[in-house]
Every structure is written in structure tokens, then in C-alpha cells.
Amino acid sequence: MKKIDRRSFLSGSVAAAAAVTLPGSSAMAADKATAQEYYELRAYRIKNADKQKIIKGYFAKALIPALNRLGIDRVGVFEVDGGKDLTLWAIIPYKTLDQMTALNGKLAADKAYQAAAADFLVGSKQDPMYTRIESWLMKAFAGIPVMELPAETKAGKDRIFEIRVYESHNEDAARRKVHMFNNGEMQVMRDTKLAPVFFGETLIGNNVPNLTYMLSAPDMEAHKAHWKAFGGHPVWKKMRGMELYKGTVSKIYNYFLKPLKCSQI
């Protein structure tokens, strides 16, 4: 049997994948001039409702206004939709890594922030404001280089969000899954109204390699209907059967979130 050269195989498979998505491909192509954002996803782990209330106030009165003053907009803050989980989530978009690495110093020097954040900053070792803040640094996918705000956000209407995390068993599988999203799967999501907000390849965080993305909908009923349409879409069905994309995901987990009143997403 002739030995298959993996590089040649992948090259041919990539071409085949692109061929699948020719209809509407101009809409799917990333704008080469648009720089890919970076995202910091935070999970504030909280023990009780009183602390959660203080941190919600911190988001509204201190963190988001300070970030906006620094030119960082579209800051999303969320709580878990249903259940007893008190975790609060935040997604912060950065234009550059320098903007992110300079953040702590600029907040420390911002007197308005320090005053507004006073209640948040006073937690003692015996009674901390939160258990931990978990953080993931991601780079936006080429297919959606800049965060896209849902129509409901722009209209000030109710909405829900789903965060999905896809782990891969190795870096090659992770790259192929990113390719799958950039070359057809992401567009199918748009076409079936799953309304992607962002896609991020995790650069630093737990359980790498993985990717994280966020979807939106007016409510859970609509979201389920959109997923059903996605599952039956002919392009998705064809892509998932392609050899290039088989075995790319080893674990999937997700979170359903609802935005806080002060959220900009």
C-alpha cells in the first residue's frame, strides 16, 4: 500500500473543505484588513448572594466605566441562567495584547475606578469577596475577527447566551476544528440564526488545547429551534463526514448565561 504523505493529504483536504462552502463563500471570507481581537474570559467564583450583589455593583459602577474610559468597549457581564451557581462571567475584548497587559496598572492609577471599586476591594482573607477569579486568554478566529453584537443587544431586548468549550486531544486536531469553523461551520451557524458573538482559540488557560465560542438568542425556545436547524443543514452534514474534520473534538461543555443590566453585550 502506498504511504500517504500527511502534508499532501491535509492540503488536499483543505481544498475539498473550501469547495464545500463555495455557495456564499464571499460572505464567509474574513476581511484580511481586520485585525483579530483578543478576549479575556473571566469566571468570578462566589460563595454567597451578598458577595454576588457587591460584584454586580462593581461591574456596573467601576469596572465597565473604567474599561470604557480606556477605549475598551463591548464588555459583557453575565450570571448563570437558572440553578444555584453564583458564578459571574465577564468577557473583555482587547485590540492588542499590549492593551491587556497594561490594564492592571492603569486601573491602579485610575482614581475614579479606585473610589467606585472600594466595596469590591475591601474583602479580607477571612471573608474574601470571591473564592477565585479564573481567566482564559483567547485570540479571535479569522472568520469572526471582531465581536458581533446580537440584534437583541442593539435593540435593548431580552436575550440569553450559550458559551461552548471544545477541547481537542492534540494541537493538530484543534487546528483542524478551527479550520472547520472558519471554512463553513460558522457560516451555517449564522444561516440558522445561532447568532455567534465571538469565537476564540485559547492561548492561555485550563485544559488546552481548546476553543471557546458564544451564541445568542432571544430565549431558550428559539435557541433550541436554531440548534435543530443547524443539525439538519446539508453543509454541516457534509462537513462533519469529511476525513479532515473527524476526531477533532474530545470533550464539549457549555454554560447558559443571561446578561446583567449593565452588560454591553
| CATH number of the domain to which 242 belongs | 3.30.70.100
265 in any annotated domain:
no
Residue type, 110: D
Kindly indicate the confidence band of residue 33, based on its pLDDT and cuts at 50, 70 and 90. Answer: low
Kindly indicate the confidence band of residue 123, based on its pLDDT and cuts at 50, 70 and 90. Answer: confident
pLDDT tens-place string over residues 79-122: 999 889 999 999 999 999 999 999 999 999 999 999 999 999 98
pLDDT tens-place string over residues 226-256: 999 999 999 999 999 999 999 999 999 999 9
Share of the chain above pLDDT 90, in %: 84
Residue 215 CB partners (closer than 8 Å, separation 6+)? 161, 162, 164, 189, 194, 195, 196, 197, 223, 226
Q: Is the pTM of this model over 0.85?
A: yes
Can you give the pLDDT at residue 32?
Answer: 55
As a whole number of angstroms, the distance between CA 193 and CA 226 comes to 6
Measure Cα distances from 104 to 107, 202, 240 in Å: 5, 21, 43
CA angle 240, 243, 249 (to 5 degrees): 60
Burial category of 31 from C-beta neighbours within 10 Å (exposed 0-12, middle 13-18, buried 19 and up): exposed
Give me the phi and psi of 259, to 5 degrees please.
Answer: -75, 145
Closest by CA to 209, choosing from 246, 162, 177, 253, is 177
3 in any annotated domain:
no
As a whole number of angstroms, the distance between CA 254 and CA 76 comes to 17
Residue 138 CB partners (closer than 8 Å, separation 6+)? 38, 39, 40, 41, 200, 201, 202, 203, 205, 211, 212
Domain that holds residue 116: 34-259
92 in any annotated domain:
yes
pLDDT tens-place string over residues 181-229: 999 999 999 999 999 999 999 999 999 999 999 999 999 999 999 999 9
9 in any annotated domain:
no
21 in any annotated domain:
no
**Torsion sign over Cα 67, 62, 217, 165:** positive
As a whole number of angstroms, the distance between CA 242 and CA 239 comes to 5
225 in any annotated domain:
yes
Q: Which residues are registered as beta bridge partners of 78?
A: 89, 259
As a whole number of angstroms, the distance between CA 234 and CA 243 comes to 17
179 in any annotated domain:
yes
Closest by CA to 186, choosing from 245, 255, 235, 238, is 235
pLDDT tens-place string over residues 174-188: 999 999 999 999 999
Residue 30 corresponds to which cell in the numbers above? 474574513
What's the average model confidence in pLDDT over 26-46?
Answer: 77
CB 154 within 8 A of CB 263: no
Number of domains in the chain: 1
14 in any annotated domain:
no
**Torsion sign over Cα 119, 124, 129, 133:** positive
What's the average model confidence in pLDDT over 48-74?
Answer: 97
